[in-house]
Amino acid sequence: MVTEFILIGFSTFPQHLLPIFFFLYLLMYLFTLLGNLLIMATIWSEHSLHTPMYLFLCALSISEILFTVAVTPRMLVDMLSTHHSITFVACASQMFFSFTFGFTHSFLLMIMGYDRYVAICHPLCYNVLMGTRGFVRLVSWSWAGGSVMGMMVTLIVFHLTFCGSNTIHHFFCHVLSLLKLSCGKEASSVTLGVILVCVTALMGCLFLIFLSYVFIVAAILRIPSAEGRHKTFSTCVSHLTVVVVHYGFASIIYLKPKGPHSMDSNTLMATTYTVVTPFLSPIIFSLRNKELKNAIKKSFLRKFCPLNS
């Protein structure tokens, strides 16, 4: 029985570029943590931002920080290490946390789309549907759903038998790479089942987000003034941009054809997706959301330039 796995994702990576990418990814990792913490601190300190839209953003920042912490530190250590083994338990834990926080992130993006739909299409019901109780319930369901997905996939995968190679062709305990190492009669059916569950959940979130924006766009087009349409749509731009980046990067990685000589490019793209998408999210929300950007500037001036605030 396999008691540990060997991660060889970086063995196909251009070795002379590893130090460069290490420092680049380290900077993006630190910026991701600081950027999300800045967003969270600004939202909690500015009472004008204590609205469901920004509280959902705060919950999204928490999920991004936790996802990044679950995957990136180990990845950075392995980039400059010659010992790439990971124990069976550590591998299962990494998979559980990465799936939990990753799916929670997708569920929160879906709920943020629903929040914009209610605010624009049913403004009179907004305070009722998105009050404190509604906010807590939706966020709780997102975290519960992510935890269930993480636990379910992890239990299914690690109940399989790994009787052959213990070499994972990835930089972390990636579910598809692990499924390739399993053996037994049930291996192929379990692989298909895991893929269908994950794809259904993610595509379901994307479909509901798309459906929300269909109704949002229809409602915006009914606004008579161009200024009103622009002001209303501006509240959705940052969320929509993050959704496009999140699903766009994922589609490039998981839907592109796999060639026999593309192992190094696959590793590069996978690491880029893992580090870059959380890195871009706080930038997008900070720059594309005028109210949040002004609040960050106000907090910065009050903290470091009290005489000018």
Q: Is the pLDDT of residue 116 over 60?
A: yes
Of 262 and 170, which is predicted with more confidence? 170
Supply the pLDDT for residue 259. 53
Q: Is the pLDDT of residue 144 over 50?
A: yes
Nearest in space to 283 (alpha carbons), one of 269, 271, 296, 302: 296
Q: What is the value of pTM for the model shown?
A: 0.89
Supply the pLDDT for residue 306. 57
127-136, 167-176, 182-191, 249-258: the lowest-pLDDT one: 249-258
Of 111 and 245, which is predicted with more confidence? 111
Instruction: Over range 125-140, report the average pLDDT.
Output: 89
State the residue for tokens 């338990």: 89
Supply the pLDDT for residue 255. 61
| Residues 207-239: tens digit of each pLDDT | 999 999 999 999 999 988 888 888 888 888 889
- Mean of pLDDT over the chain: 84
Name the 3-class secondary structure at 87: strand
Nearest in space to 73 (alpha carbons), one of 114, 26, 113, 31: 26
Q: Is the pLDDT of residue 261 over 50?
A: no
Instruction: Over range 1-8, report the average pLDDT.
Output: 75
Q: Using an 8 Å Cβ cutoff, are 239 and 112 in contact?
A: yes
| Residues 271-290: tens digit of each pLDDT | 777 888 888 888 888 877 77
Instruction: Over range 192-210, report the average pLDDT.
Output: 90
